[in-house]
Amino acid sequence: MDYASSLLGLLPGARRTPGLKELLASVAAYLPADQVERIREAAEFGTSAHHGQRRRSGEPFIAHPVAAATLLADLHLDADTIIAAILHDVIEDTRTPKDQLAARFGADVAELVDGVTKLDQIKFKSREEAQAESFRKMLLAMVKDLRVILVKLADRTHNMRTIEAMAPARRRAIARETLEIYAPIAERLGLYNMKIELEDLGFKALYPARYLVLERAQKRARGNQKEFLKKIEQQLNTALIRSQIEARVVTREKHLYSIYQKMRRKRAPLHEIVDVYGIRIVVDTPDTCYRALGVVHSVFKPMPGRFKDYIAIPRVNGYQSLHTTLFGPNGVPIEAQIRTTDMHRVAETGIAAHWKYKTGGKSDVGQQDRTREWLSNLVSLQESGSSEEFLESVKVDLFPDKVYVFTPKGTILRLPSGATVVDFAYAVHTDIGNRCVAAKVDRRLTPLRTVLRNGQTVEIITAKGATPNPSWVNFVATAKARSAIRHYLKGLRRTEAIALGAKLLTQALGEFSLSFEDVSDSVKRAALGELGMKDLDELHEKIGLGERLAPLVARRLLPTATHASGTSVLAPLAIAGTEGLLVTYARCCFPIPYDPIFAFLSSGRGVVIHRENCVNVEDYRKHPENWLPVTWQASPDRLFSSELRVYVINRTGVLAAVAAAIASTETNIDHVSIDEQDIDTAVLTFELRVRDRRHLARLVRVIRRMPDVNRVTRTIAAHARDAEPDGDPDPRG
C-alpha cells in the first residue's frame, strides 16, 4: 500500500474526491500500476463531470460512484469494471456522450456504462411475485456483459447504505425494489455477502419497526449464546484434530431478513428461530469435507432428514457445501455447513469470484469467453445433479432467447426473441390480435411486423371489425399467434363454404320450384338426420365444400309426391369471381369471364371452374353427378389468369418486343417461359391477368400484328394441345 500512498501524494485531485484514497489503496493491492493510474484518471474525470452536483446527504456526488467502485474493488474485479463503476452515472446525470467515454477509457468501459444507464431507464412497477421474476429475467436478458449487473448491484448497495437521506415514500419504493429485484439477482449470481447486505438494508428501510424488534432480540440472544457457542466450537475442534483433519471452525449468525422470512414462512415465534446456532467448517479438499462430516456426526447426533449434499449436486448458482443439522447440548439445533476454501470463496462472491482480476496469461480473455468459462464450470459442477434445471435457469437468464416487454399498464410479457408486434397483440388476448391494426412502441407508431426488443412498452391499436391479415403468418414468431391466425382463416373458409352451400342448395331447390321456406320442419329434420348432419350450417358447409351434392340434397327435401326422376336440368349458378376461397379457376384451361364454362364439385375444394372445351372435361364426364351448370355474372374489377402461347421466329430480342407489346395494353404478366422448338422458331408462354374475353381478344390482335409472330393461341389444358382454333376468341362465346 506504500505504492498507493506515494501515488496519492502526487495527486491534487485526491483531496476533492472523497473515498478515492481508499479506493486506490484497495485496487493497488491487486492491480498493476498502469491500471491503477487509469482508475485514478477515471476518478478525476468523474469528479469534473459531476462537479457541483451533490447527493441528498450533502456530500459531493462523486463520493457515491467512488464508493460503489470500492465495493467492487473488494471483490478484486478488473480495472474496466472499476472504472465503469466510477463513471456509471455520467451518461445519465452529466450528459457525457458515450463516444467520449470510449475515446478516453476504451470501448469496454463505454459499453458497461451505457448498459448500466439502460438498466436504470427501466422502471419496475408491479408488486406481484411473477412480475418480479420476469423483471429480474428482463434485466439479466438486457445485459450482454454480466459486469453491468455487478456495477448495478454495487450502485444499489451503496444507495441502500445511504438511503436514510431519502424521503420516506421514495425510501420504501427503493427498498421494495431492492428486496424483490436486486437481492434475488445477487443470490442468483452467487454474490452471497451482497445479497445479505441488500436484504438487511432493504428490510430495515421497508419495515423499520420490525427490524428493530428483531435486532434487539438477536442482541439479547447473542449475549447468552457466546459461552455456549464457544463450547461447541471447542468440542468440534478437538474431535477434528484427533482425526487429523485441518479445519477452520467459525460460528455464524443468521442475518435478520432471513430470520424474518423464516418467521413468516413457518409462522414460528421469534425465539424458536433466533435460538438456532450456526457453525461453518472450512477444510482443504472435497474429500476432507465428507471426513469432517463423519467427525461432526460422531460428536453431535444429526437430525434425520436434514442432511443435504450440495457438493455432489451444487445449487443453480454454483454454490457447494455439505449442510447438516445437529442436536447440540440440551437438544438445541445447530446448523452446520462444511466446505472447502474454494467453495467458500464461490459461496461468498459467486460470479464475481470468476471475474477476479487474474495476473498473467489469461487476463486478456474476452468478456464473452469469461462468461462462457463461468458457465461451463457450472455445467461441469452440475453434471452429477439436476443439470436440466440448471441449464434452463442459466440459459434463460444469461443467453437471452426471450424478450421482455411491457404493456402500457406496466405488466411484463415474456415472448420468444424475434417476436413481433402481432405476437405481442396475440399474447395479450386473441381478440386483441384478431382486431389489431396498428401499434405504438415506446409511444411511436410502428409497423405490425416490427421485431420487439427488451424493455419496450407496446401499445396495440385495435379497430372494430378488423380481421387478421393472412400474411401475418409469414412473420409471427409465436405458436399462439400462428394458430390463432390459421384458426381465423379456417373459420373464414367455413363461413364462405356455408354461404356458397346455401346458394347452391337454393338453386337446386329452385329447379323444383321450391324455396327453402316451403320445406316443412319435419322434412328438414328427417333429411338432416338421414345425412348425419347436426344442423343446417353443417349441411350448407358440406355442400359448399363439395362433400355433398346440392341436387341430391334438394331431392331429399322434396315432399314425397314430387320426388322427381332427376332428369330436370338445373338453372346455372352465377359466378361473379368474388366468391372467395371456395370457387377456384382451373389452371389447366384458365377460364375467364364470358368463356363457356362449367363447374365441377370437388370434395374439400369447393367449386372448380373449367372451360367447356378443357381436355380434362373428358375425365369429369365420368362423374356427371358432380357437374354444376354455371354462367358468368356481370364481372366486377377482378382480374383473371389466362395463358397465351405465342409462336415466334427465334430471334434475339423477340421476347422483349412481345412483352413490351403486352405491357402497352396495360396487361400484367405473371409468368413467362420460352420453349425453343428449333433453330428458327420458339414458343413463348405468357401467364397474364385479364378482365375478360374482350380484353384478351384485344391483346391477341396486338400481338398477332407483330412481324416476328407466327401464331397466337390460348392454352387449353396443361399444354397438351392447342384446342382452340386459331382465330379471335369471340367476346361473347
Least distance between Mn ion and beta carbon 193 (Å) = 20
Amino acid at 611: R
Contact by Cβ (8 Å): 339, 319? no
Strand 606-611 vs strand 583-585: parallel, antiparallel, or unpaired?
parallel
CB 458 within 8 A of CB 419: no
The distance of closest approach from Cβ of residue 202 to Mn ion in the complex, given in angstroms and rounded to an integer, is 17
3-state secondary structure of 196: helix
Helix axes 147-161, 79-86, angle to 10 degrees: 50
Q: Which is nearer to Mn ion, 136 or 152 (CB)?
A: 152
Binding segment for Mn ion (CB under 5 A), chosen from 37-45, 149-157, 512-520, 650-658, is 149-157
Q: How many residues bind Mn ion (CB under 5 A)?
A: 2
At residue 392's C-alpha, the angle toward residues 391 and 395, to 5°, is: 75
- Read off the C-alpha cell for 440: 405504438
The strand pair at 333-340 and 277-283 is best described as parallel
**Burial of 95 by CB count in 10 Å (0-12 exposed, 13-18 middle, 19+ buried)?**
exposed
Torsions phi, psi for 708 (to 5 deg): -90, 0
Catalytic residue at 93?
yes
DSSP string computed for 535-560: SHHHHHHHHHTTSS-HHHHHHHTS-G
Please identify which of the residues 22, 41, 59, 93 carries the catalytic annotation: 93
Least CB distance from residue 393 to Mn ion, whole Å? 28
- The smaller minimum CB distance to Mn ion, of residues 62 and 630, is found at 62
Q: Does 155 bind Mn ion (CB under 5 A)?
A: yes
The single-letter DSSP state of residue 608 is: E
Q: Is 58 helix (H, G, I), strand (E, B) or coil?
A: coil
Rounded-to-integer distance, Cα 31 and Cα 359, Å = 8
User: Looking only at residues 560 through 619 of this chain, which bind Mn ion when binding is defined by CB under 5 A?
Assistant: none
**Rounded to whole angstroms, what are the CA distances from 504 to 78, 264, 582?**
79, 71, 12
Compute the distance between CA of residue 417 and CA of residue 396 in angstroms, rounded to an integer.
11
DSSP of 678-700? SSSEEEEEEEEEESSHHHHHHHH
Rounded least distance, CB 390 to Mn ion, Å: 32
Residue nearest to Mn ion (CB): 155
Letters for 328-367 (x = contact with Mn ion by CB under 5 A, - = none) are ----------------------------------------
Q: Are 66 and 18 in contact (CB under 8 A)?
A: yes
Interface of this chain with Mn ion, residues 394 to 413, rule: CB under 5 A: none
Which of 94, 635 has the CB closer to Mn ion? 94
Least spacing, CB of residue 90 vs Mn ion, in Å? 10
148 vs 508, beta carbon nearer Mn ion: 148
Stretch in the footprint of Mn ion (CB under 5 A) among 147-155, 284-292, 336-344, 474-482: 147-155
Selected range binding Mn ion among 154-162, 474-482, 613-621, 695-703, rule: CB under 5 A = 154-162
Beta carbon nearer to Mn ion, 111 or 155: 155
Build a one-symbol-per-residue string for 83-122: x at contacts with Mn ion by CB under 5 A, - elsewhere. Answer: ------x---------------------------------
Q: Which residue in the block uniquely carries the three cell numbers 395479450?
A: 428
Nearer to Mn ion, 89 or 397 (CB): 89
> What is the per-residue binding string for Mn ion in 34-73, x denoting contact by CB under 5 A?
----------------------------------------
CA distance 35 to 44: 14
Mention every residue, 6+ apart, whose C-beta is less than 8 A from residue 133: none
Residue whose CB is less far from Mn ion, 153 or 628: 153
d(CA 138, CA 122): 10
CB of 194 to Mn ion, least distance (A): 15
Nearer to Mn ion, 73 or 573 (CB): 73
Q: Which of 419, 418, 425 is nearest to 440 (CA)?
A: 425
Q: Is position 177 an interface residue for Mn ion (rule: CB under 5 A)? A: no
Please say which residue, 85 or 601, places its beta carbon nearer to Mn ion. Answer: 85
Sheet holding 322-327, edge to edge: 248-252, 277-283, 333-340, 322-327, 308-309
Smallest gap from Cβ 180 to Mn ion, in A, equals 19
Which of these ranges, 153-161, 282-290, 495-503, 601-609, lies near Mn ion under the rule CB under 5 A? 153-161
Q: Is 326 helix (H, G, I), strand (E, B) or coil?
A: strand
3-state secondary structure of 414: strand
Q: Which residue, 155 or 595, is less far from Mn ion as judged by CB?
A: 155
Q: H or E segment at 241?
A: helix 208-242
User: In whole angstroms, how close is the CB of 155 to Mn ion at the nearest point?
Assistant: 4
**Which is nearer to Mn ion, 151 or 427 (by Cβ)?**
151
Please list every residue from 661 through 690 that binds Mn ion, using CB under 5 A: none
In terms of DSSP bridges, do strands 597-602 and 606-611 run parallel, antiparallel, or are they unpaired?
antiparallel
- By CB atoms closer than 10 A (0-12, 13-18, 19+), residue 664 is exposed
C-alpha–C-alpha distance, residues 71 and 458, integer Å: 37
Decide if 160 contacts 178 (C-beta within 8 A). Answer: yes
CB of 61 to Mn ion, least distance (A): 9
Active-site annotation holder among 41, 92, 114, 342:
92
Q: What is the DSSP string of 430-489?
A: HHHHHHEEEEEETTEEE-TTPBP-TT-BEEEEE-TT----GGGGGT---HHHHHHHHHHH
Binding mask 5-24 for Mn ion (x = CB under 5 A): --------------------
Rounded to the nearest whole angstrom, what is the least distance from the CB of residue 85 to Mn ion in the complex? 9
User: How many CB atoms sit inside 10 A of residue 468's CB?
Assistant: 24
530 is an active site residue: no
Residue 156 C-beta: closest distance to Mn ion, Å: 8
Q: Can you say how many angstroms the Cα of residue 423 is from the centroid of all Cα atoms in its chain?
A: 9
154 or 712: whose CB is closer to Mn ion?
Answer: 154
Under rule CB under 5 A, residue 197 binds Mn ion: no
Q: How far is the CB of 47 from Mn ion (least distance, A)?
A: 15
C-alpha span between 179 and 185 (Å, rounded): 10
Active site residues: 92-93
Q: Where do contacts with Mn ion occur on this chain (CB under 5 A)? A: 89, 155
